[in-house]
Amino acid sequence: MQENFNLTITAGKYRGKKLQSASLKSTRSTKSILKGSLFDTLQFEILDANFVEVFGGSGSIGLEALSRGAKFAYFIEKDAKAFKVLTKNCDSIDKENTETILGDSFEVYPKFVNKLLQMNEKAYLYFDPPFDIREGMEDIYEKVLFLIENTPTEVVKTIIVEHSSKTKLPETIGKFTQKKSKKFGKSSLTYYLA
């Protein structure tokens, strides 16, 4: 039973700080090699930027972004147990510059995007949905593509999707065009820009 194995922030001002991981039944932790590649790609772009982890999990990506200079991180998570762990992680790392939102990403995200629009803020939008091999998740990528397609370009710095390497994402989603895709074993990262 791997209820709470630790994850570690790998670089930046919170480097070495431990995070709790939510149950693997509801979340899947991001491989460190994939995380390293993500932040090598974003590098200094995320300084003073907003970062949104649309499927929050333990918050390891958004908190890593904060550690590396992002100004604020938002997390959406629907699983109550995972949300508890996520909130604990945010509180222990940087309570002032994080916001956790409990709810189904597919329902909460459109409202959240409107909030960004009203604030006149842009963000890095990180989508790491549960893989479609999980029961009840067969249409997960269609639903994620729909969210992306309906995201106004005014709120987007970059859209990043972490997905199963078996799934090939389209070259364009609405007004967004694929700029780069990189495979890490079973997982891949694909980047979109308007």
Residue 187 CB coordination number (10 Å): 18
Q: What per-residue confidence (pLDDT) applies to 118?
A: 96
Cβ atoms of 62 and 98 within 8 Å: the answer is yes
Backbone angles phi, psi at 52, to 5 degrees: -120, 120
Q: Is the pLDDT of residue 17 over 70?
A: yes
Torsion sign (Cα): 45, 194, 153, 78: negative
pTM for the full model?
0.92
Task: Tell me the average pLDDT across 40-57.
Answer: 96
Question: What are the pLDDT digits (tens) for 164-173?
Answer: 999 999 999 9
Task: Tell me the average pLDDT across 155-181.
Answer: 96
Q: What per-residue confidence (pLDDT) applies to 32?
A: 82
Burial of 5 (0-12, 13-18, 19+ CB in 10 A): exposed
Which of 13, 65, 19 is CA-nearest to residue 39? Answer: 65
Cβ atoms of 17 and 9 within 8 Å: the answer is yes
Residue 175 CB coordination number (10 Å): 14
Which amino acid is residue 49, in one-letter code? A
Domains along the chain with CATH numbers: 6-193 (3.40.50.150)
DSSP three-state, residue 141: helix
Q: Is the pLDDT of residue 26 over 80?
A: no
Question: What are the pLDDT digits (tens) for 91-140?
Answer: 999 999 999 999 999 999 999 999 999 999 999 999 999 865 556 566 89
